[in-house]
Amino acid sequence: MSKREAKTGQSIDLIKGNILIPALINSIAKIPDLNKSLSIIDIGAGDATNSLSLVEILISVGYQIENIALADVDVKVFPHLLGNMLNHSLPVLNQQFLEVKNQNTIAKFLQQFGGQYDIALSQLVLHQIKNIHETSYLMYFAHRALLDNGHLLIVNLHPKYLDYLTEHIPEKFRLLKTYDYAIEGEYFFDSGGSNNVFSRNIETQLSMFLSLGFDLVKFSPIFTTILAHQKNLYQELEENNVPMFYAMLLKKNPNNFVSGTEGTVKKIKEFNPQWIKITFMDDSVIEIPKFSGWENVKAGSFLVLHEIHHDENGITIFNYWILSNDESETKTGGQLVVREK
């Protein structure tokens, strides 16, 4: 086996135990005045092993986990998630398991449990979602899930890591397409198999979070230093100062929130050259500035609107998502930015 074969790449168990979980704990430790009794939601929990290890450590250092929700966006691993939780004897008072067949499942879940969580996690999920409107819609749910002083913690592959693989180890990451704000490719796992990756640059990711009403607390590149002696790839990354992941800690800012509206559209029409009027099936009416593609909103479409205002720069942002009639699919979405004159 040559040095450059993909099998010399990362071991997920080494990565989880030695890099990812310590990075999560380190980020959580930086949250000021964090309650000792925590509610946590993990959006994209996978098989729950990371979540369980994180909870174990938090409990060992004095936190009580009042509530944990595991929202799994990959139904193929749901049986493993359920088994891992049921076979684990953690002193967690309340547990929810959410098998996500479509995003509407999360919406209905958060109608009951939204606004209750101290921390929302998203681990190695965002680079698996190509469409930006699907990504922002998922993070909109994270915003809804959190308490007013809640925090969102993102861990994702670092774009510099994928750039390094593209140039030096193409058998580990095969570049398919380059965009102004992202790269798309196929990532090959050490254990065999591969996954499509759509990696947006840090600025684009941060802009999305700010537009949803989050404030940035801390951005941290995550290096493979502690594992540099274990594998050739980790040694190369260390020598070239290339981070494999990044952690982004964000705080929900309730002062930025203006309004939120969602429902099935009854009719939509121009109010004047710049504005439109939307009537929902319950006969409630809103008037908002025209957004791109408003003409494509038809009677029966499910429309979600999320309005944010940033006082510091006088910007109001209308986030919108148009769903299929049964709310099972995010068909399109975007945002309209209005600056004060």
The predicted-structure confidence for 73-129, as pLDDT tens digits, reads as follows 554 554 555 555 555 556 555 766 666 656 566 666 666 677 889 999 998 889 988
Check pLDDT > 90 for residue 317. yes
Shared domain check, 177 and 294: no
User: 91 and 23 in one domain?
Assistant: yes
> Domains in the chain: how many in total?
2
One domain, residues 93 and 210: yes
Distance CA(80)–CA(88), nearest Å, equals 12
DSSP collapsed to 3 states, 200-265: ECHHHHHHHHHHCCEEEEEEEEECCHHHCCCCHHHHHHHHCCCCCEEEEEEEECHHHEEEEEEEEE
Q: What average pLDDT does this structure show over 333-338?
A: 87
* Of 252, 285, 311, the domain-final residue: 252
Report pLDDT for 6: 32
Is 174 found in the same domain as 309?
no
Tokens encoding 31: 């949250």
pLDDT at residue number 44:
77
**Domain shared by 194 and 292, yes or no:** no
Residue spans of beta strands (DSSP E) within 290-340: 302-310, 315-323, 330-339
Q: Which of 134, 135, 152 is nearest to 324 (CA)?
A: 134
73, amino acid identity: V
How many angstroms separate the CA atoms of 61 and 63, rounded? 6
Question: At which of 205, 220, 252 does a domain end?
Answer: 252
Whether residue 111 is found in the same domain as residue 232: yes
Q: Are residues 293 and 144 in the same domain?
A: no
* Residues 195 and 115 both lie in one domain: yes
Q: Please report the pLDDT score of residue 106 as a whole number.
A: 66
pLDDT > 90 in the chain, percent: 46
Are residue 195 and residue 219 in the same domain, yes or no?
yes
Question: Same structural domain for residues 87 and 209?
Answer: yes
- In a shared domain, residues 270 and 206: no
**Are 178 and 234 found together in one domain?**
yes
- Is position 85 within any domain? yes
1 belongs to a structural domain:
no
Kindly state whether residue 283 falls inside one of the protein's structural domains: yes
E strand or H helix at 81: helix 78-86
Helix/strand/coil for 19:
helix
Confidence grade of residue 3 (pLDDT, cut at 50, 70, 90):
very low
pLDDT of residue 209: 96
Domain that residue 285 falls in: 256-339
Q: Quick one: what percent of the chain has pLDDT higher than 70?
A: 81
Partners of 319 in the β-ladder = 306, 335
pTM for the full model?
0.87
- Which domain-ending residue is among 221, 252, 283? 252
Three-state secondary structure call for residue 140: helix
Taking 60 as the threshold, does the pLDDT of residue 13 lie above it? Answer: yes
Q: What is the CATH number of the domain that holds 144?
A: 3.40.50.150
